[in-house]
Amino acid sequence: MLKKISSVGIILLFLFSLSCSLLPWVKDPNNIYDWSSNFKEDVTYYYKVTTYISAINYTTSYNYQWKIVDVTDKTDKKVYNINDDGQTRFLVVDKDENLIFYGKDEY
């Protein structure tokens, strides 16, 4: 009985360590670096940012929405034309999904 419990414990420990080692490759939906390549044209994306300040026990949340107006796929980068709450913005990422530029001036 003890041998069976210890073998199950070893298997569970192995699976736990395997899941922790694979964790860095899991995509985070809140990280723009991970989901920028998934933007589709004429789709509105909603996101929320929550900030907590522990010194004064204060939490604030902001809701945003982006509408992707145009996607330009160049050889070394992707340029997204975004309607950000009524203002035109540009988001530029390279082929490895690293953020290069975000702002109102065309890159």
Taking only the tens place, the pLDDT of each residue in 3-51 is 777 777 777 776 666 555 444 445 555 555 555 556 777 777 777 778 8
Q: Are 67 and 43 in contact (CB under 8 A)?
A: yes
Q: Does a structural domain hold residue 6?
A: no
Residue among 55, 35, 54 nearest 45 (CA): 35
Number of domains in the chain: 1
The pLDDT score that the predictor gives to residue 22 is: 47
DSSP 8-state symbol, 38: G
Q: Is 57 part of any domain?
A: yes
Would you say residue 47 lies in a domain? yes
The answer to whether residue 59 sits within a structural domain is yes
Give the pLDDT score at 74. 82
Output the six-digit token pair for 61.
């949340």
What is this structure's pTM?
A: 0.50
* Residue 85 CB-half CA count within 13 A: 6
